[in-house]
Amino acid sequence: MRWSKIFTPTLRETPAMAEAVSHKLLLRAGYIRQLTAGVYSYLPLAQRVLLKITAIIREEMNNIGGQEHLLPALNPAEIWQESGRWQVMGDNMFRLKDRKGAELCLAMTHEEIFTSIARDELRSYKQLPQIWYHIQTKFRDEARPKSGMLRVREFIMKDAYSFDLDLEGLDKAFEAHREAYCLIYKRCELEFSIVEASSGAMGGSKSSEFMVYSDAGEDWIASCADCKYAANTEKATSKIPSITDEAGLESPEKFPTPGVRTIEDLTTFPGGAAANRQIKTLVYMLDDKPALVLMRGDHQLNETKLTDSTQAINARPAHPAEIQNLLGALPGSLGAVGVKDIFIIADKALEGRTNMVTGANHNDHHLRGVSIARDINITKWADLRSVESGEGCPNCSGTLRVDKAIEVGHIFKLGTRYSESMKATVLNAEGKEVPIIMGCYGIGVGRILASAVELYNDADGISWPVSIAPFELVITPTNINDALQKETSTKLYEEFMAIGVDVILDDRDERPGVKFKDSDLIGIPYRITLGKKLKEGKVEFFTRRNKEVKDVSLENIVEVLREAIAKANIVKP
RNA sequence: CGGGGAGUGGCGUAGUCUGGUAACGCGCUUGGUUUGGGACCAAGAGACCGGUGGUUCGAAUCCACUCUCCCCGACCA
């Protein structure tokens, strides 16, 4: 490719809308343009990167026996109704009607479609196992797209589905994907970690996420330095010191607390209590049914844990009016003592506690001397608490830390969640009809691209890993009007192309500074510069990542470059 | 959905409070001089100021409504 021909609209200034580093750089370097919130056009540079990422994914998926399909993005409502997810997906699904009024949606994921193919076509256990995948555009009507490519409404995803006769087969498929994913991320040079995660609306038992630690991420990961424990905070548990209470009063005692609205207020109020001696009472609507959620005063509720433990599809905090109606008081004075006929779920950290303080369901009044078991009619106990940095590792004596991360992949053991609801069965060796055991395995292709930029950038721009860079090498004659430079650079360019190096020749009639700035911004890993020393048969070899420059003779330059990129495990798209 | 911010040539902004017919930098075009880290000089092109309605002799500026985007939160296979 000649630079004079490629469309690379680089910008000197960053568009004001961008916040995340990857978003700014991808815009500035001419990779992407935004069409509307959460929807981007991938310009030629980005497309080159995407093709390289998907080539790596394809190779590793094919290596574990994956067979590539390409499934529709436009789906009829019926198939989603069959699995029950037409409702479950709620507002996150883009829905539309065709001219006949039939309901359709834009697929968010493809369990239903792949399962329907399996149901229609797989008859016998002899046809198992299967691993099917595709790389497709998916749609999600995110409430708030953000951070450039990291949270979008239209995105490219590789998703794979495994079909097995039994759980052993599923375990094997799951493990095969785990290993393939590790190879994929390694080859993209992403530093990642595998964490336990919630399965959420996907259903199924076990799920693992592949996370890239980055402040641009949206997930919080709890991890232990002393052992291998790592989990998304929506799933993570921790050890915390137990608290010994005094027996306290015979029965709860109501006392006035004018102006007290928060846990914090009550800790300083005369006759109040430390946060860890308070019961925080939250009111949630779980699928439009009210529930009281009880937490220790100093603990934070994790809503994913709440929905996971109650099987609720939608959970939202109740509105003040709903709360007033339900409990007769407003937030700040709420409690569960004496409450009947309402679902009450309590965090395990409250188990066995006595002599606590909580709201009295009477504005500006609280109760002291509350003993959970004696005074509150708990419907269900569950782990609802978000773990915090500094708490104890659940697996060893280490300490947990909590960091932000970008989710770049997620693998699930689905089991029979879809095969049962959609009746995808095969006959086993005994001639008995059994549901197919499924797994599903996703990779966010655009997120790999964005994560790589988040990980590899500096003041001058992007510094791509060689394996996914839009070009591996740029040849830069500092003055294209110099006959020797022009001739030599063209010769080198053709030579590198002939041996399969992905090279771009910067044949523009621009000042050297412009060329250097552009190639640094775009992030091409290696540059060969032809300048004054060319007359002595020397060119400059520049490494983008560490800015190292060395003079190399013309005879050796091909070999030097070849060695440099040999280390990257490159697949040609 | 709650809170905050912003829409002015391609990009970044000023102008809005205090109404008088749009300015600056970058980029772009042409000519010339330059050529190792985003050159310089000169001459140009390019904006009905997000939209609709209103107030006014006159609106980018004031008022009402509305659309869109960004950020925080909520939400998020």
* Model pLDDT for residues A205-226, shown as the tens digit of each residue: 789 999 999 989 989 999 998 9
* Pairing, β A343-347 against β A279-286: unpaired
CATH fold match for the domains A43-69+119-236+402-454 and A461-566? no
Tens of pLDDT along A41-96? Answer: 999 999 999 999 999 999 999 999 999 999 999 999 999 999 999 988 888 999 99
Give the rounded percent of residues in chain A with a pLDDT score beyond 90.
76
User: What is the average per-residue pLDDT within A151-169?
Assistant: 96
Going by the DSSP 8-state scheme, the letter that residue A301 receives in this structure is: B
pLDDT grade, residue A201 (50/70/90)? Answer: low
Which nucleotide's C1' is closest to A198 (Cα)? Answer: B77
Whole-angstrom Cα distance, residue A476 to residue A513?
A: 11
Which nucleotide's C1' is closest to A18 (Cα)? Answer: B70
Query: Cα angle at A255 between A249 and A256, to 5 degrees?
Result: 170
Question: Longest Cα pair distance anywhere in chain A, in angstroms?
Answer: 99
Listed in sequence order, the residues at least 6 apart from A513 whose beta carbon sits closer than 8 Å to its beta carbon are: none
Query: Residue A172 is inside which H or E element, if any?
Result: helix A167-187
Give, in Å, how far the C1' of B60 lies from the CA of A41: 31
Listed in sequence order, the residues at least 6 apart from A571 whose beta carbon sits closer than 8 Å to its beta carbon are: A52, A55, A56, A58, A59, A187, A467
End-to-end CA distance of chain A: 15
For the cut 90, the answer to whether the pLDDT of residue A11 exceeds it is yes
Which nucleotide's C1' is closest to A409 (Cα)? Answer: B77
Which nucleotide's C1' is closest to A317 (Cα)? Answer: B74
Give, in Å, how far the C1' of B55 lies from the CA of A241: 68
Q: Which nucleotides of B are covered by protein (CB under 7 A)?
A: 1-2, 11-13, 25-27, 34-39, 68-77
Give, in Å, how far the C1' of B56 lies from the CA of A16: 35
For A428, the token pair is 């086993």
For the cut 80, the answer to whether the pLDDT of residue A573 exceeds it is no
Give, in Å, how far the C1' of B34 lies from the CA of A200: 63
For the cut 80, the answer to whether the pLDDT of residue A204 exceeds it is no
For the cut 70, the answer to whether the pLDDT of residue A202 exceeds it is no
Per-domain residue ranges of chain A: 43-69+119-236+402-454, 253-382, 461-566
Class of domain A461-566: alpha beta
CA–chain centroid gap for A437, Å, is: 25
Give, in Å, how far the C1' of B69 lies from the CA of A16: 10
pLDDT grade, residue A354 (50/70/90)? Answer: very high
Is residue A460 within 8 Å of A520, Cβ to Cβ?
yes
Q: What is the dihedral of CA A334, A338, A340, A342, to 10 degrees?
A: 20
Predicted pLDDT of residue A322? 82
Query: Residue A209 is inside which H or E element, if any?
Result: strand A207-213
Give, in Å, how far the C1' of B3 lies from the CA of A348: 33
User: Nucleotide B38: nearest residue by CA–C1'?
Assistant: A514
CB atoms under 10 Å from CB of A568, counted, come to 15
Domain spanning A43-69+119-236+402-454 has what CATH number? Answer: 3.30.930.10
For the cut 70, the answer to whether the pLDDT of residue A386 exceeds it is yes
Which nucleotide's C1' is closest to A521 (Cα)? Answer: B38
Give, in Å, how far the C1' of B23 lies from the CA of A12: 21
Give, in Å, how far the C1' of B10 lies from the CA of A55: 34
Cis peptide upstream of residue A129 (ω within 30 degrees of 0):
yes
Q: What is the residue whose two structure tokens read 């209470």?
A: A245
For A21, the token pair is 């580093």
For A506, the token pair is 């910067």
Listed in sequence order, the residues at least 6 apart from A217 whose beta carbon sits closer than 8 Å to its beta carbon are: A150, A211, A404, A405, A406, A407
Q: What does the radius of gyration of chain A's CA atoms come to, in whole angstroms?
A: 29
Instruction: Tell me what ipTM this predicted complex has.
Output: 0.94
Give, in Å, how far the C1' of B62 lies from the CA of A17: 28
Tell which wins on pLDDT, A213 or A315: A213
For the cut 70, the answer to whether the pLDDT of residue A365 exceeds it is yes
The half-sphere exposure of A401 on its side-chain side, counting CA atoms within 13 A, is 9
Which nucleotide's C1' is closest to A478 (Cα)? Answer: B36
With DSSP H G I counted as helix, E B as strand and the rest as coil, what are the percentages for chain A, rounded to 5?
30, 30, 40
Q: Count Cβ atoms within 10 A of the Cβ of residue A164 and give its class: 0-12 exposed, 13-18 middle, 19 or more buried.
A: buried
* Pairing, β A473-477 against β A503-505: parallel
CA–chain centroid gap for A236, Å, is: 16
CA–chain centroid gap for A563, Å, is: 35
User: Nucleotide B37: nearest residue by CA–C1'?
Assistant: A513
For A507, the token pair is 């044949």
Which nucleotide's C1' is closest to A411 (Cα)? Answer: B77
User: Nucleotide B13: nearest residue by CA–C1'?
Assistant: A16
pLDDT grade, residue A316 (50/70/90)? Answer: confident
Which nucleotide's C1' is closest to A284 (Cα)? Answer: B74
User: Nucleotide B77: nearest residue by CA–C1'?
Assistant: A202
Give, in Å, how far the C1' of B59 lies from the CA of A32: 37
User: Nucleotide B73: nearest residue by CA–C1'?
Assistant: A144
* Pairing, β A154-164 against β A437-444: antiparallel
Give, in Å, how far the C1' of B17 lies from the CA of A19: 29
Give, in Å, how far the C1' of B51 lies from the CA of A373: 61
Residue length of chain A: 573
pLDDT grade, residue A200 (50/70/90)? Answer: low
Predicted pLDDT of residue A430? 97
Tens of pLDDT along A26-45? Answer: 999 999 999 999 999 999 99
Give, in Å, how far the C1' of B62 lies from the CA of A442: 54
φ, ψ for residue A340, nearest 5 deg: -120, 160
User: Nucleotide B39: nearest residue by CA–C1'?
Assistant: A511
Give, in Å, how far the C1' of B77 lies from the CA of A457: 30
Q: What is the dihedral of CA A163, A415, A412, A422, to 10 degrees?
A: 70
Which nucleotide's C1' is closest to A203 (Cα)? Answer: B77
User: Nucleotide B75: nearest residue by CA–C1'?
Assistant: A143
User: Nucleotide B74: nearest residue by CA–C1'?
Assistant: A316
> Could you say which of 3.90.1300.10, 1.10.287.610, 3.90.960.10, 3.40.50.720 is the CATH number of the domain covering A253-382?
3.90.960.10
Tens of pLDDT along A109-150? Answer: 999 999 999 999 999 999 999 999 999 999 999 988 988 899
pLDDT grade, residue A350 (50/70/90)? Answer: very high
Three-state DSSP at A77 gives helix
Task: Report in angstroms the alpha-carbon separations of A341 from A166, A289, A290, A344, A377.
Answer: 43, 11, 10, 9, 9
Whole-angstrom Cα distance, residue A533 to residue A539?
A: 7
Which nucleotide's C1' is closest to A520 (Cα)? Answer: B37
For the cut 80, the answer to whether the pLDDT of residue A401 exceeds it is yes
Instruction: Please give the mean pLDDT across all residues of chain A.
Output: 93
φ, ψ for residue A514, nearest 5 deg: -65, -45
Cis peptide upstream of residue A9 (ω within 30 degrees of 0):
no
Which nucleotide's C1' is closest to A532 (Cα)? Answer: B36
For the cut 80, the answer to whether the pLDDT of residue A198 exceeds it is no
